[in-house]
A = this chain, B = another copy of it.
């Protein structure tokens, strides 16, 4: 008998569902909108309704369905309790309790960044590794740490919250979403490189293609870099250096086999990898020099893969 698992990625805009075989084959993928009104109180019932549809359509029951895993954008403890998920409008939710009343199935929950890391370590770019750190370079910087195949969740479900490492000795003039002003994500996220650009162009008189761009994005900066725009190269250089130093710090703490870079900025591909690797080797402890740095392979599907893997 073939066995299956459902992986769910709860996002602020949509809830993604993936049905997987034990071997990591994605059988079916579907999406419903996230209703965040009224404190997000419809989210779990919407998810439950859709789970029932998937189960019916694919003839699944408590014998051939090994369970349901879920990634949530918030802190998760004991693989069930969500403590604040701002994007969902949630304060405190016990997800296991909600589903235990309705389904005779294993339900396991983890933070979404951790779950994405698990997905990459299962069937993605890191599938040959046991211990990795996934770094998601988007609006913020998310992190997921896998040690010997298992998620490092931490006491408060904040393991791998690397975006809020106080990387900088001197505070920035801008304040991070978390209230601090020395955060890794303030200089290593997509927003981070955009802010580095704004400061650079304000402080320097230098000509640059970027001066003609109205809302400068990370992509604009890397495009200008490829055209040998000197200002863009200096801006990107600052960014690479910050990012690489952050990775070198993390490596000294957890000594992983590989870093996996995901999120929008990782679309820069080799330009990002080559430069970050160079700075990484400069900053890292000698024992961590051979750590691989790779671009994520599963894109937005990493979450559903990793969520399914939780219960397999």
Contacts and interface: CB of A to CB of B under 8 A. Distances in A.
A75 B75 CA distance: 33
Interface string A129-166: 00100000000000101010000111111111111111
A interface, over-half SS: loop
Interface stretch (A40-48, A280-288, A299-307): A280-288
B254 A154 contact: yes
Contact of A162 (B160, B164, B184, B252): B252
Interface string A263-291: 00000000000000000000111111001
Contact of A253 (B160, B180, B242): B160
Contact of A252 (B147, B165, B169, B284): B165
A257 interface: yes
Contacts of A160: 253, 255
A156 B287 contact: yes
A253 B286 contact: no
A250 B256 CA distance: 15
Contacts of A256: 154-155
Choose among A158, A168, A180 the residue with the greatest number of B CB atoms under 10 Å from its CB.
A158
B253 A164 contact: no
B284 A166 contact: yes
A158 B252 CA distance: 7
Given A155-B131, A155-B256, A164 B75 contact: no
A162 B154 CA distance: 18
Contacts of A245: 166, 169, 182
Nearest to A284: B166
B255 A166 contact: no
Interface of A: 75, 131, 143, 145, 147, 152-169, 178-180, 182, 184, 242, 245, 248-250, 252-257, 283-288, 291
11 contacts: A131-B155, A158-B255, A158-B287, A159-B253, A165-B248, A165-B252, A165-B253, A166-B283, A167-B169, A168-B169, A180-B283
